[in-house]
Structures are given as structure tokens and as C-alpha cells.
Structure 1
């Protein structure tokens, strides 16, 4: 089972990959990073995507089953895709036996990348990722 560095390097082998991070959405800190970052700042990218991820993870409105009585979604968000004119940002939440607050973030070139393939592979990576 791969660790953080191995998983991020695997993500960078995807066609069109420009950068990859493992981010804690509570603190906004990158636990690992490889490749480029938009604007050249990996920590700023981690902090911005953490805000998006935190909102999605804590919003019961986005869960297919809707919120439960505590306002929490009955089915967790698996991933998010943010598109720009030249790129995709794929955010994949990592599920663990404990209360996980991390996600994989892949910055993918829109012209060279395959979003469907990247989404499938990132999901596989998240399932195999060993934290700790």
C-alpha cells in the first residue's frame, strides 16, 4: 500500500498532470506536494482548495441522501471538479477507518489530460493510500 509520496508521484504520471497535493481540509496545510502549483504557490493552492473541500464535506445539502437530523449528509461527497479555461482541479476525499480530513488534489491540464481517467485513477489511489 503506497504512502503519501508514492501516491502523489503516481498521480503525476497521469497524462496532463501539472501538480498534485495531499491536503488536510481542517488546517489547509499540504501534507505532501509534487509538481507545479497555480501561481507558483503550493501552500496557497492547498489553503484555497481546503476551503472548497471543507465546505463540500460539511454541507449536508450536497449529499445525495440529503442531510440527516444533525444537518450532516447521509452519503459523503467523493470528489469535486473545478474547471478553468485551461485546467481541471480534481479533489478526491480520502476515506479512512478513522475520521479522515484529507483529500488528494490533482491539477490537470485541460488540453493534455483525460478527466475521466484521472478521476478513476485518483479514486483508486485514495483507496490504497496509507496515512501515518
Structure 2
């Protein structure tokens, strides 16, 4: 089992193309931990903004009567992938892992696979 800091470091080092990562509480919009980013990628602002994405999707699913759970959300941009993975563990309720990838260097399928494994090892 890994703590938040260790899990975020593993995300950056084990997922090719990683630019930044965060663990986010979508009930408050607060980032519980961040790594990477930079002057062009403020992960605390991204955490708050992506909280709105998750809330909107959950609201839409409820209105549609969908009984499924969100596994992850992918936002594709010209140069980046933004991957939001909702945590499924009992302790992770209300949290998501947020990962920004450089599209030129990333393998999206492998990134999703690694993020699932990091989630499974994360201890809150």
C-alpha cells in the first residue's frame, strides 16, 4: 500500500508522458496532493475545474436514470490528454486521480492500465 505522495510520484515516473498529477476531493474541489504541472498547468485550478466536470456528468447520469458508475473521463486536446479516474475503494469515495499527459509521448491505454494499478495500491 502506498500513501498519496508515493502514489503521485509513481504516477509521474511510471506513466510515460506524464506532465502532472493530482489527487482531488470532488466534494470540495480541493487537491489533496499534486505533483508536476508548471506555469502553464496550475494543478489546483485544474482540480477545482475538473470537479465541475465530474459533478456535471454525475448529474446527467442521474437525470438519464443510468445506474452505472463513472470509471474514468478522458478529455482529449491537441497536445494533451487529461484523464480523470474516480476512486472506487471504500476510503476513496468522493476522490479522483487526475493525470495530464503529453500526447506526443503518451500511450493512453497503458496510462489507464497503470492508473488503475496505482489506485489499487493507494492507501488513504
Q: Provide TM-score, normalisation by structure 2.
A: 0.89
In structure 2, the residue matched to 1:25 is 26
In structure 1, the residue matched to 2:72 is 79
User: 1 or 2 for the larger relative contact order (CA 8 Å, sep ≥6)?
Assistant: 2
Q: List structure 1 runs of 4+ shifted beyond 4 angstroms.
A: none
In structure 1, the residue matched to 2:45 is 44
Please state how far the C-alpha of 1:55 moved relative to its aligned partner. Answer: 2.0
Alignment of 1:121 onto 2:122: no
Task: Give secondary structure in 2 for the equivalent of 1:39.
Answer: coil
In structure 2, the residue matched to 1:3 is 3
In structure 1, the residue matched to 2:12 is 12
Distance 1:81 1:8, change over 3 A: same
Unaligned runs of 5+ in 2: none
More helix by share: 2
Q: Tell me how far apart the structure 2 counterparts of residues 35 and 98 of structure 1 sit (CA, whole Å).
A: 25
In structure 2, the residue matched to 1:93 is 86
Please state how far the C-alpha of 1:38 moved relative to its aligned partner. Answer: 7.1
Stretch moving more, 35-44 or 98-107 = 35-44
In structure 2, the residue matched to 1:70 is none
Q: Provide TM-score, normalisation by structure 1.
A: 0.84
Task: Give secondary structure in 2 for the equivalent of 1:118.
Answer: helix
How many positions carry a matched residue from both structures?
123
Unaligned runs of 5+ in 1: 68-72
Q: Tell me how far apart the structure 2 counterparts of residues 108 and 24 of structure 1 sit (CA, whole Å).
A: 21
Distance 1:36 1:122, change over 3 A: same
